[in-house]
Amino acid sequence: MREVRFRDPAGTIRTGEWLDDSEGERERSDGSDIGDAGGRVRFGDRIYSTGEIDVLPPCEPGKIVCIGRNYADHAAERDSEIPDRPLLFLKGPNAVASHESTIELPAGKERIEHEAELGVVIGEQCRNVSEDDAMTVVAGFTCGNDLSNRDDQRVEQNWVRGKAFDNAAPLGPVLAPPEEVPADAAIRLWVNGELRQDGSQSDLIFSIPELIAEITTHLTLEAGDVILTGTPEGVGPLVDGDEIGIAIEGVGTLRHSVRVP
Ligand code: MG
């Protein structure tokens, strides 16, 4: 079952079941109009349309551990070497944004880009997890956008301005069981209905178990923390009013728009 956190019409936060079939959505949509058809959420014997509720991010991460250059084709388009160990950087809880949100991008920047990514949501506090045990600490998968401010990223070492600004990590809408996500799951991103990214989870340089083992060698992951696993090729700039759809096979479709102040 794909779970969704939401605020019901009375204002109470619930966890329900996402009823739309992600495969069907993906087949019939260009990613720009998914959601207008209306996802549905079951909670007990109630079924809500997404118009009746606020879909919340699938978790409340204390930190988001992001992986850079984890697809060879993306490293090539950035004229960067493939790293010999996972390249890690952090976003904080301020970066989280929800499905269907309108994100105000940092002002005065020439190039802020989208990066469609598979998000791994951690289910329990863990440290020094082996690759063999890695999937036991995973609560589920979600869709993410690693929004990237290239103006500042290219001139700073630690990418705080470049990557960790407010709402730089839209996440959601669901938490999907990993066993329902194919190993070669398609990862696609559309801007205003135009397909910009079309990759596959099978092209990850470092696998999800390898990432969890490496990250937890150095730091403790907590329940609700997220790993953004890297983006395939096709990243590109966003402008005021753009509508973004990110679909991951077996997971669902995250939609949000951007505004430039
Ligand atoms: Mg990224």
Domain ranges of the chain: 3-54, 57-259
The whole-angstrom separation of Cα 15 and Cα 41 is 9
Closest alpha carbon to 169 in 260, 93, 244, 71: 93
Return the pLDDT at 39.
Answer: 76
> How would you class 45 by CB atoms within 10 Å of its CB: exposed for 0-12, middle for 13-18, buried for 19 or more?
exposed
Residue 179: predicted pLDDT? 96
Task: Give the pLDDT band of residue 32 (cuts 50, 70, 90).
Answer: very low
> What is the per-residue pLDDT for 235?
97
pLDDT band at residue 38 under the 50/70/90 scheme:
low
pLDDT higher than threshold 50 for residue 29: no
CA of 55 to the centre of ligand 1 (A): 24
pLDDT recorded at residue 78? 87
All residues with CB under 5 Å from ion ligand 1: 115, 146, 231
- For 57-259, which CATH superfamily applies? Fumarylacetoacetase-like, C-terminal domain (3.90.850.10)
Per-residue pLDDT, averaged over 112-135, amounts to 98
CA of 130 to the centre of ligand 1 (A): 24
Mean pLDDT of 198-218: 97
Question: For the chain, how far is it from start to end, CA to CA, in angstroms?
Answer: 39
Distance 66 CA to ligand 1 centre (A): 6
Q: Are 256 and 179 in contact (CB under 8 A)?
A: no
Going from the Cα of 62 to the center of ligand 1, the distance in angstroms, rounded, reads: 18
Q: How far is the CA of 149 from the centre of ligand 1 (A)?
A: 11
Lowest mean per-residue pLDDT among 27-36, 56-65, 87-96, 209-218: 27-36
